[in-house]
A and B are shown apart, each in its own frame.
Chain A
Amino acid sequence: MTRNGLLRATVFLAIGIAFPFVFSPAWLVNIGVLTLMYAALATSWNLFSGYTGYITLGQVAFFGLGAYTLAITFEHYGIGAGYNPFYVLPLVGAGVAFASLPVAWIALRTRAMTFAIVTLTLLFIVQQLAFNLHSVTHGSSGLMVPTPTTFGVDTYDNPFYFAMLGILCIALLLCWGTLRSKLGLMLLAIREDEEKARGLGIRVTGAKLIAWWLHVFVTAMVGAVWAYYLTFIYPESSVDPLVMIGAVLMTFLGGRGTLWGPVIGALVLVPAQQYMLLHLGGSQLYLVGYSAVFVVVLLVLPRGILPSLRDGVLRTRERRRTRRLEATTS
């Protein structure tokens, strides 16, 4: 890890941990929870789609699966309230991730655009299942998760905040680790030229599946925490295309394929999104506003903030260098 990287991580962690104590009003911590949630979703999306080049549009399906898994487990196994659900998170994450592998294997046999559509179809499938499997999910009536009564009124959001922060850190570590490992090398090779990679003997399917597993693992955990946070989930809210599109947008905004890009994207867009919801939510203009932001980001900054910044810095350095050269030669 470079010294800069370590510095960035430390600063981020410090701010992250201090935030709910410095800015204690509940609504602020709430925005913090949502920001961290989207940051984790965007980062794990980047882990798969940014590195393999396969755009998945079904991420929120696993978000919903994580949410429902936690809620249903609560119903049938009574995990108890308080902090217990947080201990179950890795199990939920791993469970959903393993369950998703067969479908992923089928989907990964298709090429890029078809893959995007198939994953999008997954989204609709899971939503439909949530509606239809009444006996398990209570369909459109929704599922209740017991409210944690031990969290205290003033600091109720804090445990959820730190849970999301923890998951985000896991996601960032996974991203960072993947990039530095052979797995990362394989994934990038796959992204550049999959056929050539196969021809060289690289185990393409396995690499893709591992990246997939990791991203679902994180996503499902985020969904589970979200379910516990809201204490009430139903199909449209658990598998919401807007959540998926939001995570993708934030990744694009911040810069695909970079480590901190998705986090930055979330830091910019979530507060903006909440602001729009507050002022425009009732009138459905929220959708129009959202789509406008979306379009502007995609058309104006297709590469994202971080890569554009980096290019800008490089260009300024170049310009300064040539100016210095001109100055010395004239």
Chain B
Amino acid sequence: MHGVVQAIILGVLIGGVYALMASGLTLVFGIMRVINVAQGALVILAAYLSYALFSHAHVDPFLSVLVVTPAMFVLGVLVQIVFVRSLRGSDSEELSLLVTWALALGIEGVLSVIFKTTYRATSPSYADKTLTVFGYQFGFVRLMAFILSGVLLLLLSLLLTRTRFGRAVRATVQNPTAATLLGVDANRVQTLSFGLGVSMAAAAGAVYGVIYPFNPGSHYDLISRLLSIVVLGGLGSLGGAVVAALVMGVTEAVVAVEWQPTWASFSYFIVLIAVLLVRPQGIFGVRERAL
């Protein structure tokens, strides 16, 4: 029993971080129907940035979030303007899928050239510290990462519900044409949201590197998880992404403990297929029925 509860704790902690990464992905889809397959690669890029800052300037990874996040926001905006915005036409959704995939490959390539393919890990002094509460272990870094994710997700939801920008975003999600007619600059909303989505992943990435060792090829593992999470939660649903991330995180951890670690990541896909059997639109997704 103890082992299962411990696994659940572990799953929730890592699930929170995945939720942060996935939130950006699903938000961008909701606004412009673009699946940013490069999200995983951008997380890894952020991990490398944080790693470099730590190794060369001794900047604490959690502090580096303050630097990495804005930097990646700018990168996200540039990417959207250069690559995504120029895609027009009825194929733009599929094309964006492929273009962002190409981008992911490019990022992987560049990172491989600079950092080689050896696994890295950002290791501050507290990397192995654990807290024990009621007999259960909480990895210090994982806990901090979870709290960071929670705070950022809360800020994101406040941004979306309380600010003018957030209203513009939600209007664009519901009806881009109507939103434009009401004075919302759809282009700007899309660009800024894309940047926002990327910066969310970046914040997670900055601390991800302390939890897991990574190399340029790690983005495949990440994106496969993130895509499963986003589809499970329902494409475009922020709440769905958070719930799905926690569900997946817990499932993976429990499978790893109760069965075998090698099957843990596989459980993601099984859960996804199982849910899609019953609800093709995901947990919180909307069944699209053209009338």
- Does any Cβ of A come within 8 Å of B54's Cβ? no
Q: In the bound complex, what is the Cα–Cα distance between A290 and B230 (angstroms)?
A: 28
B113:A302 contact, CB within 8 angstroms? no
- Closest residue on chain A to residue B272 by CB atoms: A121
Q: Give the interface centre of A107, A121, A285 by most chain B CB atoms within 10 Å.
A: A121
Q: In the bound complex, what is the Cα–Cα distance between A28 and B108 (angstroms)?
A: 30
Q: In the bound complex, what is the Cα–Cα distance between A81 and B235 (angstroms)?
A: 49
B109:A285 contact, CB within 8 angstroms? yes
Q: Contact partner of A287 among B109, B227, B231, B265, CB < 8 A?
A: B109
Q: In the bound complex, what is the Cα–Cα distance between A302 and B90 (angstroms)?
A: 11
Q: Contact partner of A299 among B86, B97, B105, CB < 8 A?
A: B86
From 282 to 300 in chain A, residues with beta carbon under 8 angstroms from any chain B beta carbon are: 283-292, 294-295, 298-299
Q: Give the interface centre of A113, A285, A289 by most chain B CB atoms within 10 Å.
A: A113
- Does any Cβ of A come within 8 Å of B35's Cβ? yes
B106:A292 contact, CB within 8 angstroms? yes
In whole Å, how far is A59's beta carbon from the nearest beta carbon of chain B? 13
Q: Contact partner of A295 among B99, B276, B282, B288, CB < 8 A?
A: B99
Q: In the bound complex, what is the Cα–Cα distance between A111 and B285 (angstroms)?
A: 12
- Closest residue on chain A to residue B230 by CB atoms: A117
- Does any Cβ of B come within 8 Å of A22's Cβ? no
- Does any Cβ of A come within 8 Å of B214's Cβ? no
B280:A110 contact, CB within 8 angstroms? yes
Task: Collect the chain B residues with CB atoms within 8 Å of residue A114's CB.
Answer: 231, 235, 280-282, 285
Q: A284-B112, A299-B83 in contact; A245/B276 too (CB < 8 A)?
A: no
Q: In the bound complex, what is the Cα–Cα distance between A291 and B37 (angstroms)?
A: 13
Q: A287-B105, A288-B113 in contact; A116/B97 too (CB < 8 A)?
A: yes
- Closest residue on chain A to residue B262 by CB atoms: A132
Q: In the bound complex, what is the Cα–Cα distance between A283 and B282 (angstroms)?
A: 41
Task: Collect the chain A residues with CB atoms within 8 Å of residue B265's CB.
Answer: 128
- Does any Cβ of B come within 8 Å of A131's Cβ? yes
B94:A116 contact, CB within 8 angstroms? yes
Q: A121-B227, A295-B102, A302-B87 in contact; A131/B262 too (CB < 8 A)?
A: yes
Q: In the bound complex, what is the Cα–Cα distance between A234 and B86 (angstroms)?
A: 39
- Closest residue on chain A to residue B86 by CB atoms: A299
A302:B105 contact, CB within 8 angstroms? no
Q: A291-B103, A292-B106 in contact; A55/B224 too (CB < 8 A)?
A: no
- Does any Cβ of A come within 8 Å of B159's Cβ? no
Q: In the bound complex, what is the Cα–Cα distance between A121 and B228 (angstroms)?
A: 7
Q: In the bound complex, what is the Cα–Cα distance between A291 and B95 (angstroms)?
A: 14
Q: How many A-B residue pairs have CB under 8 A?
A: 125
B280:A109 contact, CB within 8 angstroms? yes
- Does any Cβ of B come within 8 Å of A106's Cβ? yes
Task: Collect the chain A residues with CB atoms within 8 Å of residue B285's CB.
Answer: 114
Give the A interface residue count (CB, 8 A). Answer: 44
Interface of A is mostly: helix
A121:B269 contact, CB within 8 angstroms? yes
Q: In the bound complex, what is the Cα–Cα distance between A186 and B269 (angstroms)?
A: 31
- Closest residue on chain A to residue B228 by CB atoms: A121
A285:B266 contact, CB within 8 angstroms? no
Q: Contact partner of A245 among B101, B269, B272, B277, CB < 8 A?
A: B101
Q: Contact partner of B263 among A132, A294, A299, CB < 8 A?
A: A132
In whole Å, how far is A221's beta carbon from the nearest beta carbon of chain B? 25
Q: In the bound complex, what is the Cα–Cα distance between A140 and B273 (angstroms)?
A: 25
Task: Collect the chain A residues with CB atoms within 8 Å of residue B97's CB.
Answer: 55, 57, 113, 116
- Does any Cβ of A come within 8 Å of B93's Cβ? yes
Q: A106-B276, A111-B288, A128-B266 in contact; A245/B105 too (CB < 8 A)?
A: yes
B94:A117 contact, CB within 8 angstroms? no
Q: A110-B280, A249-B98 in contact; A288/B288 too (CB < 8 A)?
A: no
B95:A288 contact, CB within 8 angstroms? no
B33:A113 contact, CB within 8 angstroms? yes
Going nearest first, the 8 A-B pairs with the smallest beta carbon separation are A287-B109, A288-B109, A284-B112, A291-B106, A294-B102, A291-B105, A124-B224, A109-B280
Known: A117-B230, A120-B227. 10 other contacts (CB 8 A): A103-B273, A112-B94, A114-B231, A118-B272, A120-B224, A121-B272, A245-B101, A284-B117, A291-B109, A298-B99
Chain B residues with CB under 8 Å of chain A are: 29, 33, 35, 83, 86-87, 89, 91, 93-95, 97-99, 101-106, 108-110, 112-113, 117, 216, 220, 224, 227-228, 230-231, 235, 262-263, 265-266, 269, 272-273, 276-277, 280-282, 285, 288-290
**21 pairs, A vs B, C-beta closer than 8 Å:** A55-B94, A113-B33, A113-B97, A114-B282, A114-B285, A117-B35, A121-B227, A121-B272, A128-B269, A131-B262, A245-B102, A284-B216, A285-B109, A287-B105, A288-B109, A291-B103, A291-B106, A292-B106, A295-B83, A299-B83, A299-B87
